[in-house]
Every structure is written in C-alpha cells, then in structure tokens.
Chains A and B, each alone.
Chain A
C-alpha cells in the first residue's frame, strides 16, 4: 500500500511569488490534514479535511493560504503571495478513522524556502 506522498519535495521561490503544494493521501482515507514546521519550531496544525469538506481550519495563519480538496482525493495548499516567514516544512497526513485512536500517517513533507 502506498503511503502519503507530497510534491514537490523542495521548493525555492522569491517573496511575492505563488507556490502550490500537493498531497496525495493513502487511498480510502477520508481525513486529510496539513501541518507545518517553521524555523525549527513546533509542528503546527493548519487544517483538516473530511473528504472534500473543511472540518477545521483554525490553524490557517492568514488568507494568503488556500487549501482545497476537490473530489475528496488529493489536496493542494496554495500560498499566494509567499512571504519570508512562510519558509518551513509542510507536512500532510491522512487517517481512516475519525476520533478514537486517530492514527495519522504522515508524508515526507515539502520544504519551502522563500527568499
């Protein structure tokens, strides 16, 4: 069974540009999460999809970030325009069960560098 995949693995862009990150969850997982780790700090929750619906987007930092999951399969996270403080590693995770021991399977992350 394929794990969670993320694309690209690395992205280097200039301040003001747009970047789109993609996440493909494990097949059949309705729950999809985005997290990020900025400047070596804690991994912070961004948002949670259940199928194509946003269940919780309380962690989204501002309106420069837009997440979508059309069709309830893969998800994209767009940053427009990117700022220096957006640099970090963006992780995607997916899970099958909501609540209980909600084991989340993580992808390898996308390292975003904004110059």
Chain B
C-alpha cells in the first residue's frame, strides 16, 4: 500500500524559513495536501497541489513537488510563533493517506 513519511520534529527561530519534507511511494496522479493541527483543534487544510504541478505559492506558503523523487515539501516564509503546530502531508482523492506529522516548534 501507499506509504507517506515525514520527519518527526523541526525547530526554527522566529523570522526564519521552515521547510517540512514528505516522501511517498505511490506515483499515481492525485492531489497532495498539507494540513495543520493546532493543540485541541482539528486538521486545517493549508494548501494542496495536483501531481502534474511542480510548485504552488500561497502567501507565505510554498509547496514544491518533485515527482521523480516522490518528494513533497512545504516552505513557510517568515515563520511566526503562531505557526507552531503539527503539519501533516496527505495524498489521495477520497481516502487520504497521511504521513505521521511533523511537529514544528518556533522559538522567539
């Protein structure tokens, strides 16, 4: 089956850029998503990219997709303390396959 993997933890200083990485195994065409989970809250969809795209930018967020390497990344520019959360990448259509989540800690 599909595997989606992420590193567990990332720590950055406020104002720096954060890059959260995700790898997957199934190369079928579909959508790839980034979700954010703050404490006590549900999963909030941040952005998505279709697998025929290489890049998508949305304000401070940049998603890069390397189809050859099956690698997806989320870059957060000018990271703020409010960006501290768990970030999940997910792949699929109706049934989403999630990575294990990356906990981002932003130090003042």
Judge whether B42 and A99 touch: CB under 8 Å: no
Grouping DSSP codes into helix (H, G, I), strand (E, B) and loop, the B interface class, with mixed when no group exceeds half, is: strand
Q: Chain A contacts of B48 at CB under 8 A? A: 101, 103
Judge whether A91 and B42 touch: CB under 8 Å: yes
Judge whether B42 and A107 touch: CB under 8 Å: yes
Q: Chain B contacts of A98 at CB under 8 A? A: 94
Chain A contacts to B: CB under 8 angstroms: 3-4, 31, 33, 35, 40-45, 48, 55-56, 58-59, 91, 93, 98-109
Judge whether B4 and A42 touch: CB under 8 Å: yes
Judge whether B98 and A42 touch: CB under 8 Å: yes
Grouping DSSP codes into helix (H, G, I), strand (E, B) and loop, the A interface class, with mixed when no group exceeds half, is: loop
CA distance A48 to B94 in the complex (A): 8
| 7 A-B pairs with the lowest CB-CB distances in the bound complex, closest first | A106-B43, A106-B42, A43-B98, A108-B42, A45-B95, A42-B100, A107-B42
Task: Using CB atoms, name the residue of chain B closest to A101.
Answer: B31
Is B96 in the interface zone, CB < 8 Å from A? yes
> What are 8 A-B contacts defined by CB distance under 8 Å?
A3-B42, A4-B42, A42-B98, A43-B96, A58-B95, A104-B96, A105-B45, A106-B35
Other A-B pairs, 11, CB within 8 Å; known A42-B99, A42-B101:
A35-B98, A41-B100, A42-B100, A43-B43, A43-B98, A43-B101, A48-B94, A102-B94, A104-B96, A105-B45, A107-B42
